[in-house]
Amino acid sequence: MSNKRVVKLREKLQAKGLTAMLVASPINRRYLTGFTGSAGYVLITRDNAYLLTDFRYMTQAPQQAVGFQVVEHGPKVMETVKDLLSSEGITSLGFEQDHVTYGVFSTYSEQLAPMSLVPVSGLVEDLRIFKDAEELSIMQRAADLADQTFSHVLTLLAAGKTEREIDLEMEMFMRKHGATSSSFDTIVASGERSALPHGVASERVIQGNEFVTFDFGALLDGYCSDLTRTVALGSPDPKLKEIYDIVLEAQLHALDHIKPGMTGREADALTRDIITRYGYGEYFGHSTGHGLGMEVHESPRLSKLSDDVLQPGMVVTVEPGIYLPGLGGVRIEDDIVITESGIHILTSSSKDYTVL
């Protein structure tokens, strides 16, 4: 697995005229090596693949980073990097411009001089867009755990509990069933707060006769799931049922029509045009979806500004919504894999209008 990813990265480096790259991003480090430790750098050259880390991980790293030369770096990491590059006669080094602060860049410049430093963007991230069979298997398990968590929370949800209490129950359930953590701060938004697209769980007491929106996911073996469902307690305002039906129609329409070769802009229009036709376009202010993987927000984007082309192996969310300030809102979201002929849906929780 790691070697294939390194081969592809080398091809990208060659296309840019580079013979070496330093990877500092923890997510990209894990993607390339499988190493789960909290500290380290990956150095890819034309002939070698190094994982540099410290004393704490000198037993763990060789076990996880198959195919990499594990090097215990010195007190100044870049001096070790410089020594390795010099041993191969390398005089220029690509670095991840999106993950390096100016302060860190200054350190690179000082300790690697006279090495030529070349900023590059998105090389590893572009590889991560396409999930292999092993990654998809993990993501299916992460999606299954999100579905199980939703089923669990429906047995607990009741007027009188706070959003935060429900959030904690969800977090504990996911961790008890194998998750490292939630994929992001769980959204439990009830009543008028359901009109907040990112209404992270608060101390608000859930009432009867209102909507509750859950947006959450499980971080499992390094990969995220992302699920949103909206349910009713008692007899909410009929306007809320109206927008629920519209959002569901839009979401199902998108799932029926998304296909490889479509742009993010075209995929976004599948939901946005329906919501706009019903007169609620101004109340749908976010994109239809986003890429999903080791991070909860990755490329590609399903938005009205996106020219990203959907291709087999990509995993994206489909999550239209309508939000009415002072009343409430609805969002419905699934995780899908783009296939050669269409899509495969990873999440399976019911989207039927549910009243508790």
CB contact burial 176-187 (16+ within 10 A = b; e otherwise): eeebeebbbebb
Sign of the torsion formed by the C-alpha atoms of 347, 350, 352 and 356: negative
The number of CA neighbours under 13 Å toward the Cβ of 282 is 3
> Could you give phi then psi for residue 229, rounded to 5 degrees?
-140, 150
Contact present, 211 and 320 (Cβ < 8 Å): no
Whether the pLDDT of residue 11 is over 70: the answer is yes
Tens digits of residue pLDDT in 24-52? 999 999 999 999 999 999 999 999 999 99
Determine how β-strand 218-220 pairs with β-strand 315-318.
unpaired
Which two structure tokens, joined as six digits, stand for 133?
């069979």
Tens digits of residue pLDDT in 193-221? 999 999 999 999 999 999 999 999 999 99
* pLDDT at res. 3: 84
Strand partners, 22: 43, 95
HEC secondary structure over the chain: CHHHHHHHHHHHHHHCCCCEEEECCHHHHHHHHCCCCCCCEEEEECCCEEEEECHHHCCHHHHHCCCCEEEECCCCHHHHHHHHHHHCCCCEEEEECCCCCHHHHHHHHHHHCCCEEEEECCHHHHHHCCCCHHHHHHHHHHHHHHHHHHHHHHCCCCCCCEHHHHHHHHHHHHHHCCCCEECCCCEEEEHHHHHCCCCECCCCECCCCEEEEEEECEEECCEECCEEEEEEECCCCHHHHHHHHHHHHHHHHHHHHCCCCCEHHHHHHHHHHHHHHCCCHHHCCCCCEEECCCCCCEEEEECCCCCCECCCCCEEEECCEEEECCCEEEECEEEEEECCCCEEECCCCCCCCCEC
pLDDT confidence bin for 1, thresholds 50/70/90: very low
Which two structure tokens, joined as six digits, stand for 124?
């590893």
**What kind of fold does domain 2-128 have according to CATH?**
Creatine Amidinohydrolase; Chain A, domain 1 (3.40.350)
The torsion angle over the Cα atoms of residues 136, 13, 24 and 111, rounded to 10 degrees, is 170
pTM of the model: 0.94
Whether the pLDDT of residue 134 is over 90: the answer is yes
Tens digits of residue pLDDT in 285-315? 999 999 999 999 999 999 999 999 999 999 9
Residue where the block lists tokens 């998108």? 254
> At the top level of CATH, which class does the domain 133-345 belong to?
alpha beta
Whether the pLDDT of residue 2 is over 50: the answer is no
Tens digits of residue pLDDT in 59-99? 999 999 999 999 999 999 999 999 999 999 999 999 999 99
* pLDDT at res. 253: 98
Q: Do domains 2-128 and 133-345 have the same CATH topology?
A: no
For the chain, the domains span 2-128, 133-345
Tens digits of residue pLDDT in 103-123? 999 999 999 999 999 999 999
